[in-house]
Structure 1
Amino acid sequence: MSYDFDLFVIGGGSGGIATARRAAEYGAKVGLAEYDRLGGTCVNRGCIPKKLMVYTSHFPAQFQESQGYGWSPVKSTLDWSKMITAVNQETERLNGIYQRMLDKSNVQVYRDYGKLLDPHTIEVGNTKVTADKILIAVGGHPVRPNIPGIENTIISDDMFTLTEQPKRLVIWGGGYIGVEFACIMRGLGSDVIQIIRRDKILNGFDEDIRTTIQESMEHHGIQILKNCTITSIEKTSQGLKIAVQGDQNNEMVLADTIGLAATGRKPSLDNLGLENAGVEVKKEAIAVDKYSCTSQENIYAVGDCTDQINLTPVAINEGRAFADTHFGGKSRTMSYENVPSAVFSTPEAATVGLTEAEAKEQYGEDAIKVYRSKFRPMYYVLPGKDEKTLMKLVVHQETEKVLGAHMVGNYAAEIIQGVAIAVKMGAKKSDFDATVGIHPTSAEEFVTMR
């Protein structure tokens, strides 16, 4: 049967665009549907604009720290509007780059919603197209809990469109999004209260990372209400009255006219027509096998809509593996082992491999040896600040294999990216020990821990 396209991609985020371009490089005729800005969550409402705000939030501390090195005091104020405008202009620039890349790859772009009508037919706006293979890469979106007054809150997407900086901000959620925005807004001078359901932030991360970041956040003036949940939100003339219920007591907290709900994300599957094409959904996500294939043999899915590991580089790698396999004659799958990740909090954290708890559960407590170092980096000596860096290696004693590497501190993501190569290759602790450190750096601690 003849089709309009060899491959049609629904979703123009990082995973969808990477897949479309790679398949087109192999000579496939490719179409792509995206109703919103190209680049998806990462470029428009996530990684990129958020990291630019992280940079912005660091300047007040740097102005103060410079005095320890002999610089005169700096008096500076933030022009919120100028900062937000500059951040959004950068995302617009990236949108244009993505469009040019797709044009150069001869991918036909439809600027509308894509909906499955059957296993080979997609409705895009008022047009119907057919494709031999279909790839779904629609990503995910933030969700708000269903409580009275929740309509008065914002989600993480809205942080990049605020016209004014909130002076008092309540953040609900202890995941990486809530933690990052709490640190950003505190660094910019806002009063921040973070409400979490457990006793620690960043559930699922190594315990030392969770403890070190949380202690630092509280040291920097972020008030964290632990083992709590929000039961209602009321808009008043003084701001938002937020009812908080905890194990020990109930209380009311007050925020400006906004509060950030950062309590989770889920795949964006509404109105996709999955039922029309026989695509199975499990636990609110598209079910796929190791080749990213759905229950329908010619339909595939990658990225956050499958809820594997919700990271942009993972979606890109999944998509390229699919294109290599089906259009490039190079069968391969995405490996989810030892995928590095970072939390752009203050201080920053990064990790690769197993946590200490995971390693002990998998191999037994006696089989694991942990190397840990906590110190004040040289940078903070002259300013006289008590800021700590944590570095940690989790090692299997019998084989000496490094199972996990974790860090909290300046440039953690940059450092762990290099360490991740060694962990991915199966490096042993003796390989780390045999590597000469670069002195004086924080990174050398990874090869000098004993």
Structure 2
Amino acid sequence: MLSLRKHWFSLVRLCDVLHVAGRRSRSSGVNVKYDYDLIVIGGGSGGLACSKEASQLGKKVAVLDFVSSSPKGNAWGLGGTCVNVGCIPKKLMHQASLLGQSVKDASHYGWNVQGDTIDHSWESLVMSIQNHIKSLNFGHRVQLKEKNVEYYNAKGSFVDSHTVLARHENGDEVSLSAEHIVIAVGGRPHYPTNVQGSHEHGITSDDLFFYSKPPGKTLVIGGSYVALECAGILAGLGCPAHLMIRSHPLKAFDRDMVNLVMSSLRGHGVQILSHCEPQSIERGSNGRLDVVWRDEASQTCRDQFDTVLFATGRQASTWALELPRVGVAMDTPTGKVLVDERDTTSVDNIHAIGDAAYGRWELTPVAVKAGKLLARRLFEGSNVLMNYETVPTTVFTPLEFASVGLSEEEAVSRYGNERVEVYHAFYRPLEYYLPHRDSSQCYIKMVCEAVDTERVLGLHLLGPNAGEVLQGFSTAINAGLTRDQLHGTIGIHPTCAEEVVRLHITKSSGADPTLTAC
């Protein structure tokens, strides 16, 4: 299948080359002089990284970025999903929810916390987050100017394979040409079409971080990491949160870890509605939302909520680019652009990175790295490709879940059960002891190739600050870390990260993996 796709790519590219060559030969007989060496359509993390890297290599670069409002009327500035409605506001809200738990723990550490009631101001939190985001928007514009990247606050669409039409909000249009064009438009959440009233009454993560008042009792629909994170954050901030999942949550992740993540969410107060499908949403006479759904027994259920948040997937923001006009191949259901291992589309001088590219991780650091490497390949002669195989990531649920490499299921599928060994442990963070917090979901799993020195194929961690812990280990795994090397490493005591280097109990042994304190 991959071979056929490569041959198809080659055929389409040959046609494009012949088209461009014909167009040039019909001109004055000289090579076309382009306005820019590179045009990047999309001002998110990947597009900005690619444009700035190309500019640093001495190329003339332009960036086009325009954010269409969400159905609820929310729009934002330069920086893409991560800065405005993704990683940054999410992590800040995650931190806010963790602080609520810390305040509850404080009395066990000798702090005199008056009373049992902890008040939280949603309005103050949102204002602080939005002020920070605006400073980041401004900072991105300053950086582009400092690096001599021309910025157009305009929508872009293809005229031909080397020409983009930039449309400003006031209706002004300008035609721009470039030797290379990068599609980095990212994606936006989508509403399910089979749920009556979803557009009229539902919101998405594009809206949550702009909410001017507490969302109250909230139904989060979806099983993605965005859904789980939003549900956990809302519960931590005192909003009754319900999470409705049609099939399985976090499908791409290790099943043991996911089951523990869900158990942890329940422990933090999130009500889980498993194997349920929403049917309709209506505004009741009392102003609240009447939601009807079917449960796993096909029974009709209903309840009232103040807010319904859809986190049921995203689609690439490619609809306005006119890609069929220039022959760029796409995956129709998702709107994503098909690319090869060099992030090049079916048209040789058009490339795609980030969330708009098919088969790529929808993660900011992935887009940033891919953008920089692409610029170096185009303008510096580099042949270094992006490694999409061993990518670390963290799900910022109340108890964080970090992962890098293969899940146990993926490893067994790839190598066979007899060539996979799993080391695992349940552990108790020291900071949980005094407040007697539940640590039954704090778990580590290391997946190894069961030959010779046992190369580490995957590492998965559920616990406090899991993302911070796993970052360093991901570097080692990319460098070929073995179980022997890990076991020979001295741990930093007393930390959660120390428990990783202490792993010694195999899953196949059937021994109790619960670790005891020193």
The normalised TM-score by structure 2 is 0.85
2:5 — aligned with what?
A: none
* Deviations 1:398-420, CA, capped at 9 Å, x for gaps: 13001000001101000111110
Instruction: Specify the SS of the correspondent of 1:414.
Output: helix
Displacement of 1:277 in angstroms is 1.6
Select the residue among 99, 107, 111 that pairs with 1:71.
111
Instruction: Specify the SS of the correspondent of 1:48.
Output: helix
Displacement of 1:58 in angstroms is 1.2
1:353 — aligned with what?
A: 405
- What residue identity is the alignment partner of 2:36? F
Question: Which stretch has the larger CA shift, 385-394 or 168-177?
Answer: 385-394
Instruction: Specify the SS of the correspondent of 1:259.
Output: strand
Matched, 1:253 2:334: no
1:13 — aligned with what?
A: 44
* Deviations 1:94-120, CA, capped at 9 Å, x for gaps: 111111111011011111101111111
Instruction: Check the 8 A contact 2:268/2:398 in 1, yes or no.
Output: no
* Deviations 1:325-356, CA, capped at 9 Å, x for gaps: 11112222111111001100010010000000
1:88-103 equivalence runs, <5 A: 88-103=130-145
Displacement of 1:73 in angstroms is 2.2
Q: Which whole-Å CA distance do the structure 1 matches of 2:175 and 2:438 have between them?
A: 62
* Deviations 1:379-412, CA, capped at 9 Å, x for gaps: 0111011124211100111130010000011010
1:394-433 equivalence runs, <5 A: 394-399=447-452, 400-433=454-487
1:21-60 equivalence runs, <5 A: 21-36=52-67, 37-60=77-100
Matched, 1:266 2:315: yes
Select the residue among 415, 432, 441 that pairs with 2:495.
441
1:195 — aligned with what?
A: 244
Instruction: Specify the SS of the correspondent of 1:64.
Output: helix
* Deviations 1:252-299, CA, capped at 9 Å, x for gaps: 02101x200110011111110112222111243101111111111111
Q: Structure 2: where are the runs of 5+ without partners?
A: 1-31, 68-76, 168-172, 505-518
Task: Give me the identity figure in percent.
Answer: 38
Displacement of 1:154 in angstroms is 0.2
Instruction: Specify the SS of the correspondent of 1:6.
Output: strand
Q: Which whole-Å CA distance do the structure 2 matches of 1:440 and 1:375 have between them?
A: 12
- What residue identity is the alignment partner of 1:278? G
Q: Which whole-Å CA distance do the structure 2 matches of 1:10 and 1:88 have between them?
A: 25
Q: Which whole-Å CA distance do the structure 2 matches of 1:203 and 1:289 have between them?
A: 24
Select the residue among 261, 270, 285 that pairs with 1:213.
261
Select the residue among 347, 355, 380 that pairs with 1:328.
380
Q: Which whole-Å CA distance do the structure 2 matches of 1:331 and 1:28 have between them?
A: 18
Q: Which whole-Å CA distance do the structure 2 matches of 1:84 and 1:162 have between them?
A: 7
Matched, 1:83 2:125: yes
Give the structure with higher Rg (CA). 2
Select the residue among 17, 33, 52 that pairs with 1:2.
33
Q: Which whole-Å CA distance do the structure 2 matches of 1:159 and 1:367 have between them?
A: 45
- What residue identity is the alignment partner of 2:283? K
Q: Which whole-Å CA distance do the structure 2 matches of 1:103 and 1:110 have between them?
A: 12
Displacement of 1:442 in angstroms is 1.1
Q: Which whole-Å CA distance do the structure 2 matches of 1:337 and 1:9 have between them?
A: 25
Matched, 1:392 2:445: yes
Q: Which whole-Å CA distance do the structure 2 matches of 1:27 and 1:220 have between them?
A: 52
Displacement of 1:208 in angstroms is 1.9
Instruction: Check the 8 A contact 1:213/1:346 in 2, yes or no.
Output: no
Select the residue among 258, 264, 272 that pairs with 1:224.
272
Q: Which whole-Å CA distance do the structure 1 matches of 2:49 and 2:269 have between them?
A: 41
1:144 — aligned with what?
A: 191
Displacement of 1:207 in angstroms is 1.2
Q: Which whole-Å CA distance do the structure 2 matches of 1:219 and 1:337 have between them?
A: 33
1:285 — aligned with what?
A: 336
Select the residue among 143, 147, 152 that pairs with 1:105.
147
Instruction: Check the 8 A contact 1:233/1:240 in 2, yes or no.
Output: yes
* Deviations 1:236-266, CA, capped at 9 Å, x for gaps: 123111111122232102101x200110011
Q: CA RMSD in A?
A: 1.1
Q: Which whole-Å CA distance do the structure 2 matches of 1:164 and 1:387 have between them?
A: 33
Instruction: Check the 8 A contact 2:427/2:499 in 1, yes or no.
Output: no
Instruction: Check the 8 A contact 1:368/1:394 in 2, yes or no.
Output: yes
Displacement of 1:444 in angstroms is 0.8
Instruction: Specify the SS of the correspondent of 1:19.
Output: helix
Q: Which whole-Å CA distance do the structure 2 matches of 1:112 and 1:76 have between them?
A: 45
Q: Which whole-Å CA distance do the structure 1 matches of 2:502 and 2:124 have between them?
A: 44
Q: Which whole-Å CA distance do the structure 2 matches of 1:230 and 1:337 have between them?
A: 35
- What residue identity is the alignment partner of 1:207? R
Select the residue among 243, 251, 261 that pairs with 2:292.
243
Q: Which whole-Å CA distance do the structure 2 matches of 1:77 and 1:282 have between them?
A: 48
1:131 — aligned with what?
A: 178
Instruction: Specify the SS of the correspondent of 1:190.
Output: coil
Q: Which whole-Å CA distance do the structure 1 matches of 2:53 and 2:180 have between them?
A: 14
Displacement of 1:323 in angstroms is 0.6
Instruction: Specify the SS of the correspondent of 2:78.
Output: coil
Select the residue among 326, 330, 345 that pairs with 1:294.
345
